[in-house]
Amino acid sequence: MKISLPFDRWILQFKERPKLLLWGILPAILLLILFVWRARNSNADTSEIIQGSIIESVYGLATVSSSEVYHLRVAIPSAIRKIYVEEGDQVQEGTPLVEFDSFGTMKSPFAGVVTNVAYETKETVVPQTPVVTVMDLKKRYLTVSLEEKGAVKVKKGQKVRIRFEALGDKNFEGEVKSVYPADGQFQVHITPVGIPAEILPGMTADVAIETSSKENIILVPVKGIQSGKVKVLENGKVRIKEIETGLTNGEYAELVSGDVRLGDKVLVQEDK
């Protein structure tokens, strides 16, 4: 018995189906590969070389201190007859602080706030230990500790940007007063301008000390620089070029030399 012609065609189509499926899927796979390649080399992963100004800064976490602090001490043991103040009291110049058996009444040398009372009435004071501390909360400065690499760039008179986390994104200005070594560290004394009264000694601030600046220079995105090289997208192709950079602000670096131009698109690394 012979198989009918329609059935023969059905058998032939069944045998050819894997090939048809393969030829149908292959273009889709190629299109997917092309889409992924374009996505990885699209503008979303590039940043242009631009022209502008750059300010190089040294960053650190600074601490607020008072520039006028009085610690009441005695030279010999003496009993306390009376304490006139408590912690948190506002005092004026000449306000009585403590009365001693041996020295009489000691007074505040300036206006401020009592920040510490270490003894109680009738106790005997140990020589050279603070009995009462008075601090002028209006006269404040900041200190920041830096490593050698940052400290060598800092000089007296440089501008400082100051930001207190508790006050949000509001920035304040300051100026470097001095740089000096202390206990193996390098301290920078900063004089702030116009910081509000609620900023108290002991609080901290992020500071950026402006160490150098340049204007109208070519800037390369830092995220695109790897070991002195950048990947530039030219006519759909990626070309690796060597460059030399100068000042940097964390986002851009000054272009000193290299075969790149203003407007070139540089492949950058995405933040993880």
With b meaning 16 or more CB within 10 Å and e meaning fewer, what string describes 64-95? Answer: bbbeebbebebeeebebeebbbeeebebeeeb
Q: What is the pLDDT of residue 8?
A: 57
Label residue 190 exposed, middle or buried (CB < 10 Å: 0-12, 13-18, 19+).
buried
CATH code (residue 153): 2.40.30.170
Whether residue 201 contacts residue 138, with contact meaning beta carbons closer than 8 Å, is answered with no
117: left (phi over 0), alpha (psi -120 to 50) or beta: beta
Domain termination site, one of 170, 195, 213: 213
Query: Do 62 and 182 lie in a common domain?
Result: yes
Asked if residue 7 belongs to a domain, the reply is: no
Q: What is the pLDDT of residue 169?
A: 86
Asked if residue 207 belongs to a domain, the reply is: yes
Asked if residue 243 belongs to a domain, the reply is: yes
Query: Do 157 and 261 lie in a common domain?
Result: no
Asked if residue 272 belongs to a domain, the reply is: no
Both structure tokens of 211? 């160490």
Domain termination site, one of 213, 230, 250: 213
Q: What is the pLDDT of residue 236?
A: 83
| Three-class secondary structure of residue 145 per DSSP | strand
Averages of pLDDT over each 10 residues, the chain, 272 residues = 51 51 59 57 72 92 97 95 97 97 95 97 95 97 95 96 92 97 92 95 96 92 92 90 90 92 88 56
Structural domain including 99 reads: 69-135
In terms of pTM, does the model score above 0.75? no
Query: Do 62 and 154 lie in a common domain?
Result: yes
How far is it, in rounded angstroms, from Cα 163 to Cα 40?
37
Query: Do 62 and 152 lie in a common domain?
Result: yes
Q: What is the pLDDT of residue 166?
A: 87
Q: What is the pLDDT of residue 223?
A: 92
Q: What is the pLDDT of residue 1?
A: 46
Whether residue 232 contacts residue 11, with contact meaning beta carbons closer than 8 Å, is answered with no
Distances (CA, A) of 211 to 63, 133, 156, 239: 20, 37, 10, 34
How far is it, in rounded angstroms, from Cα 44 to Cα 49?
15
Query: Do 62 and 195 lie in a common domain?
Result: yes
Helix (H) or strand (E) holding 22: helix 5-40
Q: What is the pLDDT of residue 9?
A: 56
Query: Do 153 and 245 lie in a common domain?
Result: no
Q: What is the pLDDT of residue 138?
A: 94
Query: Do 200 and 227 lie in a common domain?
Result: no
SS (HEC) of 226-264: ECCEEEEEECCEEEEEEEEEEEECCCEEEEEEECCCCCC
Query: Do 150 and 205 lie in a common domain?
Result: yes
Asked if residue 201 belongs to a domain, the reply is: yes
Q: What is the pLDDT of residue 185?
A: 86
CATH code (residue 128): 2.40.50.100
Q: What is the pLDDT of residue 249?
A: 84
Asked if residue 197 belongs to a domain, the reply is: yes
Q: What is the pLDDT of residue 228?
A: 93
